Chains A and B, each alone.
Chain A
Amino acid sequence: MEKLKKKIGSFSFWNWVIASIIFRLILIYFPKNLNLSSRPEVSTPLTSFRRLAEGYWLKQSSMSSYAGSMYHGSPLLLSLLGPLTVKRIEGQPNHLLYSLVSVIADVVSAMLIRATGQNLRLAYLRSLESLDLVKQIDVSEFLFSGDIAALIYLCNPFTIVACVGLSTSPIENMAVILCLYGACSRLIPLAAFGWVIATHLSLYPAILIIPVIFLLGCGPDSPPRKLFLQRHQQKEVLNQLKLPPGFSWGPIIHFAFWAFLWSVYVLVLCGISLKQFGGLWEMFKSTYGFILTVEDLSPNIGVLWYFFAEVFEFFRNFFLIVFHVNILFMILPLSIRLRHRPCYLAFVYVAICSMLKSYPSVGDSALYLGLLGWFVNELADMQFSLFLFCGYVGVSLLSPVMHNLWIWRGTGNANFYFTTAMVYACLQIVLVVEGVSAVLNHDRKLRILITGKP
């Protein structure tokens, strides 16, 4: 344990950050050999850089960037990143500038994750202190979850692949992390901005509004409120100062105001850029509509493409509703059970979204695996950790091989590839289930420590 902690001392932390950046830069100089940007695992119809370039080209030739069902992202992204698709530096790799942007996005995300993790750790220590558990639990044994999470995010092969593979997911991830960071450190305009942008870019982060409300309303993760009350009943001294604050509506109204402001701002900007091409309705139809109706059935690591390729046209709408309501169904129970741990709730939501998304990519997994690092102390006794690790390694190696068998060698078929997608989905389910039960067990353990009885 000491070794681990020493290793992730601050000096070593920066070493690792620099090493990961250098590794990315090295990989950027081999784009031809790796050909990552054409992998279905990396670039989906929503995050593909090629489609972005196509959209920009259409826009430059004064056509609607959504013409021809090629581009399905945001028009703002097009105006910001589009110029990078055509700008070349002589003698350098083609998309060097864009790659550098995604490297920067990754580093910024990692720094935000680190800051949030430090916040969470401090909050956790504070709550332990107010529970008088500091003596029983050696606080110095606690890992620096912020550093670990940031390093997991930076050194995760999924993140690296998404970054080098020229997909837009580093930027989407950065928006999500920005939202959580803002909510954790109570920078309400920033949180609102992150949430609006993340929702605008990929729709699914919209459900993060629930954890953000909890975060703003009652502060970051802590043991259940019940425990504090029990503790103070035991001591028969009701120290109001040591109790965590109750739910407050002020910041939430503040947040709603800012969110409204930012969304109006974003919509106006989009409206201006799409004035001649059907306006906002066109944008909603070909971004959110494209996400929700699963029009593109090209293979990816999700399970929906296979399902909707097989399903009868007659039932299509029904199953579309079923699959999307699936996410919504999970929101409420989880938010009730985990309401005292909003950041963990956010992690669970992100993981569930990346599982049931219509066009998932490894960039989504990179995000929730990074967030997982925040909870190293809580998840210390998670079961099946080795199994999950081996599963992720195996699936991420097997998936390209199956794709090769199906597409290039012709000896396999779509089922081969779909099998790995299913295994991947199962792994994510196991991860979420085990993670949630580990956190609940952790809470139980705290309760035992306080009350002294199981």
Chain B
Amino acid sequence: MAETKEKSLSDEKPKPRVRPIVRLGIFLISHSFLVSVVCCTAGVLALFLLPVLAKNTYISENALMPGSASPMLSNQHVSDGNRLVKDLTNPNSKSSETGIESHKIIAQYMLDLGAEVSFHKFHPQMNQFHPLHFFSSPVSGKIQENYSCSSYGINTVGIIRAPRGDGKEAIVLVTPYNALKSGFGEALSLGIAYSVFSLLTQVTWLAKDIIWLVADSQYGEYAAVAAWLREYQTPKFSSLSTPNAEMCPDVNNLFELKGHSISGSKFSNSFRRAGTMAAALVLKVRDQNEQFEDTISIYAEASNGQMPNLDLINVVNYLAVHRQGLRVNVEKLWPLLNSSWLKSLGEIFESLAKVAKSLYPKWKFGIPATEYVEGTATLASSLYYQALGVPTGPHGAFRDYQVDAITLEISPKFSLDKVWRNDILLRGGRLIEGVIRSVNNLLEKFHQSFFLYLLTSPSKFVSVGVYMIAFALLIAPLPMVAASLYVDANSSSNCSKGDSSTPSAITDTDEHGIAIRSWRWLNSAKLVFIVHLWGAIVSLLPYFISQIPDCSPTTSFMIWVLLSILSLLTLNSVLASPLACAKATQEKEWALVKSVTISSVFIGLGLMSVINFATAEIGALLMVPMCLLARPLKLDVRAGTLRSFCRLICNLVLGHIAFPPAAFFLLKGMLDGFGNANVGDFWMWVESLWAWNSATYLFIDLTWRAHAVVAHQSCMMFWNLDVLVLSL
């Protein structure tokens, strides 16, 4: 009642009073072009400002107390480790073809320390693409069938039970080891792990069990760790399992041998478990050594851009830098380091900061230009690996089970003679010991510090609250432009109606017009929906194509392209030929189609920013300009002005760049030279993406769809040409 009264009152008044927030909205919508240009520029600028805005890391969890105890790892333990390294590098140990000998040696060493030892046999499981498993739980109780006895790997697992613990928590130490062709680095990493392990059997402060997993990396490091974790997290209660490795004589042979040679009772055939995992460290030593300093590289990115808790990185960084004097490194995008434009940008920021500081001495936000360049390179690689969604090491397998894990890769300085070897064993071992001791202090699992962050250097990070601003600025124009287009489309149709009809018939036309006016977008929504449906079909096709045996990447790609076009044609004919009917109305409706497209892109980007920020950011950089600039080519051609010509060129270029295969080839061409680019590569790349269940794949699919809609919009001209030719 009150509402109608208000309405009628407002109708009578010549100038209706509008609420400020509505007025603000109307203002923004009416100036959407300016606002979107400003917002987009600000968004890109804010992205480049991120290294400047990065904060220093700090250890958030008080219980960690890194470095508060002096390291207990002594030369005794180091010489133990050395002994193992020598035994492993001894040519005798490599006599066996399957590398069982070296596993036996490791197991024997573990047993001598009094640890519980078991072997875990696994079959390398190919990563399978499950189109519906992107967001489901990581429980992978898949039926495992058709194993052959020829290919299997053996993980050696040693467990120390904590004297003070209740066996409900555990810390995992992983050393990938390929028994068949192990380099010296791998042996050295085993040596470090062993020296720490031998220390931990003696200490009294241990409150969490320690699991040392020597992952058999002959089928890849990730596969071995993932197989072990799967077994660890999904206990099988039935003994009636499918024919598996137990049936293979070779493996049983191994156990019999062990049974003979080892009299200790601590060895067991069955799978051994400890408690829930608090954290996991993957330790590697690089074979080549070209650095000037002992450095340690941290790899943290897990699948779909998930990161371990920042506290874990902080602890490693703190102990490595302040206790062991190692240089800590995170991945950088090397080509960016030498780019001159970045350097000049950094100098501009630096001088700006200087000016600001001279104006008001308390403003201190500038960083030196070199630091800025390094920060940007690190940030770029952080974004790149998160966006790719493929884990950068075996630690990725842990994150799927919500265990925080990182990979530490030690690159020693000099050729490894005896002294240096001892030194690296000691320092590496002490670092690991310190980290384990800190994690051992934890009362709960890591939760205090950030999970959503980007690193700009080992000791600097950008938190979610800061980087989201850049993203929000970038996509803010989308809803605004969508609203303004929608309003324009509605009001223009209104106007034309009002003009054409005589005043007496105004109410009459109003009465009909309404039904069309308010729900007219449904037609455009249908069109957009159909294009998205097509995108979904296209993105599911590789699953079926990959079932075809003996297909080279190039042929698969060709089949994919063919099937996609075929499916588009089928959809077109089955679902009331949306494109054809849209063609007739496109003239008027393009604004509505664009508005609906932009809204759907906005929803998609918003969703993606929650799932995987980096992908969303990169996608937004590509898609936002494309969506905002899109306009039917015909209109531009007809207008014939310089401005419309520029827009046309932009449209064409952007439209082609943002097409995923095109983007891929461009990148590939820039990195490797255009000669090497091959259609098959795209297939391989896509295959690798979906093999890792990367959400990026979904996203590319989204880009594809949006692109298809926009392309459809811009290609109106060509179709009309076709129609012309036909009619002639």
Q: Is the CB of B516 within 8 A of A386?
A: no
Report if A377-B515 is in contact (Cβ < 8 Å); known contacts: A389-B525, A401-B135, A410-B402. yes
Q: Is the CB of A411 within 8 A of B452?
A: yes
The B-contacting residues of A in range 1-22, CB under 8 angstroms, are: 1, 3-4, 7
Does A279 sit at the interface, judged by CB under 8 A?
Answer: no
Q: Is the CB of A401 within 8 A of B610?
A: yes
Q: Beta-carbon contacts of A383-396 to B below 8 Å, as 1s and 0s? A: 10110011001100
Closest-by-CB residue of A relative to B511 is: A137
Question: What residues on B are CB-neighbors of A454 within 8 Å?
Answer: 8, 11
Q: Which of B8, B137, B518, B610 contacts A402 (CB 8 A)?
A: B610
**Stretch with Cβ within 8 A of A (4 or more), from B120-128, B335-343, B595-603, B621-629:** B595-603
Closest-by-CB residue of A relative to B515 is: A380
Report if A441-B515 is in contact (Cβ < 8 Å); known contacts: A33-B132, A409-B306. no
Does B138 sit at the interface, judged by CB under 8 A?
Answer: yes
Q: Beta-carbon contacts of B1-35 to A below 8 Å, as 1s and 0s? A: 10110011001000000000000000000000000
Question: What residues on A are CB-neighbors of B3 within 8 Å?
Answer: 437, 440
Q: Is the CB of A386 within 8 A of B512?
A: no
Question: What residues on A are CB-neighbors of B507 within 8 Å?
Answer: 136, 448-449
Q: How far is the CB of B25 from chain A (nearest CB, A)?
A: 12
Does B646 sit at the interface, judged by CB under 8 A?
Answer: no
Question: What residues on B are CB-neighbors of A409 within 8 Å?
Answer: 306, 402
Q: Is the CB of B451 within 8 A of A411?
A: yes
Q: Which of B4, B517, B525 contacts A381 (CB 8 A)?
A: B517
Report if A393-B603 is in contact (Cβ < 8 Å); known contacts: A440-B3, A440-B4. yes
Q: How far is the CB of B404 from chain A (nearest CB, A)?
A: 9
Question: What residues on B are CB-neighbors of A7 within 8 Å?
Answer: 576
Q: Is the CB of B603 within 8 A of A405?
A: no
Question: What residues on A are CB-neighbors of B4 within 8 Å?
Answer: 440-441, 444
Does B611 sit at the interface, judged by CB under 8 A?
Answer: yes
Q: How far is the CA of A376 from the CA of B512 in the complex (A)?
A: 13
Q: Beta-carbon contacts of A108-147 to B below 8 Å, as 1s and 0s? A: 0000000000000000000000000000111001010000
Does B607 sit at the interface, judged by CB under 8 A?
Answer: yes
The B-contacting residues of A in range 403-454, CB under 8 angstroms, are: 404-405, 408-411, 416, 437, 440-441, 444-445, 448-449, 454
Closest-by-CB residue of B relative to A397 is: B607
Does A62 sit at the interface, judged by CB under 8 A?
Answer: no
Closest-by-CB residue of B relative to A404 is: B135
Q: How far is the CA of A143 from the CA of B515 in the complex (A)?
A: 9
Does B544 sit at the interface, judged by CB under 8 A?
Answer: no
Q: How far is the CA of A390 from the CA of B598 in the complex (A)?
A: 11
Question: What residues on B are CB-neighbors of A398 within 8 Å?
Answer: 606-607, 610
Q: Which of B516, B581, B596, B611 contacts A1 (CB 8 A)?
A: B516
Question: What residues on A are CB-neighbors of B306 within 8 Å?
Answer: 409, 411
Q: Beta-carbon contacts of B700-727 to A below 8 Å, as 1s and 0s? A: 0000000000000000000000000000
Report if A394-B581 is in contact (Cβ < 8 Å); known contacts: A380-B519, A401-B135. no
Q: Which of B136, B522, B602 contacts A35 (CB 8 A)?
A: B136
Q: How far is the CB of B108 from chain A (nearest CB, A)?
A: 38
Report if A385-B515 is in contact (Cβ < 8 Å); known contacts: A390-B603, A394-B606, A454-B8. no
Report if A386-B8 is in contact (Cβ < 8 Å); known contacts: A397-B607, A408-B137. no
Report if A136-B511 is in contact (Cβ < 8 Å); known contacts: A397-B607, A401-B610, A401-B611. yes
Does B119 sit at the interface, judged by CB under 8 A?
Answer: no
Does B461 sit at the interface, judged by CB under 8 A?
Answer: no
Question: What residues on A are CB-neighbors of B137 within 8 Å?
Answer: 408
Question: What residues on A are CB-neighbors of B11 within 8 Å?
Answer: 454
Q: How far is the CB of B522 from chain A (nearest CB, A)?
A: 8
Does B130 sit at the interface, judged by CB under 8 A?
Answer: yes
Does A23 sit at the interface, judged by CB under 8 A?
Answer: no
The B-contacting residues of A in range 258-307, CB under 8 angstroms, are: none
Q: Which of B514, B521, B602 contacts A386 (CB 8 A)?
A: B521
Does A225 sit at the interface, judged by CB under 8 A?
Answer: no
Q: How far is the CA of A397 from the CA of B532 in the complex (A)?
A: 15
Question: What residues on B are CB-neighbors of A242 within 8 Å?
Answer: none
Q: Is the CB of B7 within 8 A of A441?
A: yes
The A-contacting residues of B in range 583-634, CB under 8 angstroms, are: 595-596, 599-600, 602-603, 606-607, 610-611
Question: What residues on A are CB-neighbors of B135 within 8 Å?
Answer: 400-401, 404, 408
With contacts defined as CB atoms under 8 Å apart, how many contacts are there between chain A and chain B in the complex? 96
Q: Is the CB of A381 within 8 A of B516?
A: no
Does A253 sit at the interface, judged by CB under 8 A?
Answer: no
The number of chain A residues with a CB under 8 A from chain B is 46
Q: How far is the CB of A193 from chain B (nearest CB, A)?
A: 35
Q: Is the CB of B607 within 8 A of A138?
A: no
Q: Is the CB of A385 within 8 A of B518?
A: yes
Q: How far is the CA of A383 from the CA of B487 in the complex (A)?
A: 11
Q: Which of A386, A411, A440, A444 contacts B599 (CB 8 A)?
A: A386
Does A254 sit at the interface, judged by CB under 8 A?
Answer: no
Q: How far is the CB of A351 from chain B (nearest CB, A)?
A: 17
The A-contacting residues of B in range 467-517, CB under 8 angstroms, are: 486, 507-508, 510-512, 514-517
Question: What residues on B are CB-neighbors of A445 within 8 Å?
Answer: 510-511
Q: How far is the CA of A441 from the CA of B671 in the complex (A)?
A: 62
Q: Which of A141, A389, A394, A440 contacts B512 (CB 8 A)?
A: A141
Q: Which of A137, A386, A405 contacts B596 (CB 8 A)?
A: A386
Question: What residues on A are CB-neighbors of B451 within 8 Å?
Answer: 410-411
Q: Which of A136, A377, A383 contacts B508 (CB 8 A)?
A: A136
Does A325 sit at the interface, judged by CB under 8 A?
Answer: no
Q: How far is the CA of A393 from the CA of B135 in the complex (A)?
A: 18
Q: How far is the CA of A390 from the CA of B521 in the complex (A)?
A: 12
Report if A405-B599 is in contact (Cβ < 8 Å); known contacts: A382-B518, A410-B402. no
Q: Is the CB of B402 within 8 A of A397?
A: no
Does B133 sit at the interface, judged by CB under 8 A?
Answer: yes
Question: What residues on B are CB-neighbors of A437 within 8 Å?
Answer: 3
Closest-by-CB residue of A relative to B135 is: A404
Does A87 sit at the interface, judged by CB under 8 A?
Answer: no
Closest-by-CB residue of A relative to B445 is: A410
Closest-by-CB residue of A relative to B606 is: A394
Q: How far is the CB of A157 from chain B (nearest CB, A)?
A: 11
Q: Is the CB of B402 within 8 A of A33?
A: no
Q: How far is the CB of B535 from chain A (nearest CB, A)?
A: 15
Interface core residue of B8, B515, B599, B603 (most chain A CB under 10 Å)? B515
Question: What residues on B are CB-neighbors of A441 within 8 Å?
Answer: 4, 7
The A-contacting residues of B in range 420-464, CB under 8 angstroms, are: 451-452
Does A88 sit at the interface, judged by CB under 8 A?
Answer: no
Does A34 sit at the interface, judged by CB under 8 A?
Answer: yes
Q: How far is the CB of A391 from chain B (nearest CB, A)?
A: 9
Q: Is the CB of A383 within 8 A of B512?
A: no
Q: Is the CB of A397 within 8 A of B516?
A: no
Q: Is the CB of A385 within 8 A of B521?
A: yes
Q: How far is the CB of A131 from chain B (nearest CB, A)?
A: 13
Interface core residue of B4, B8, B606 (most chain A CB under 10 Å)? B4
Question: What residues on A are CB-neighbors of B516 within 8 Å?
Answer: 1
Q: How far is the CB of A222 from chain B (nearest CB, A)?
A: 17
Chain A interface residues toward B at CB < 8 A:
1, 3-4, 7, 30, 33-35, 136-138, 141, 143, 337, 376-377, 380-383, 385-386, 389-390, 393-394, 397-398, 400-402, 404-405, 408-411, 416, 437, 440-441, 444-445, 448-449, 454
Q: Can you list 28 contacts pairing A with B, beta carbon distance less than 8 Å? A: A1-B515, A33-B130, A136-B507, A136-B511, A137-B508, A137-B511, A137-B512, A141-B515, A143-B515, A376-B519, A380-B515, A382-B518, A385-B519, A385-B521, A386-B521, A386-B596, A393-B600, A397-B603, A397-B607, A398-B607, A401-B607, A408-B135, A408-B137, A408-B402, A437-B3, A441-B7, A445-B511, A448-B507
A4-B522, A380-B514 known, 10 other contacts, Cβ within 8 Å? A136-B508, A143-B515, A376-B515, A386-B486, A386-B596, A386-B599, A390-B602, A394-B603, A408-B138, A449-B511
Chain B interface residues toward A at CB < 8 A:
1, 3-4, 7-8, 11, 130, 132-133, 135-138, 306, 402, 451-452, 486, 507-508, 510-512, 514-519, 521-522, 525, 576, 581, 595-596, 599-600, 602-603, 606-607, 610-611
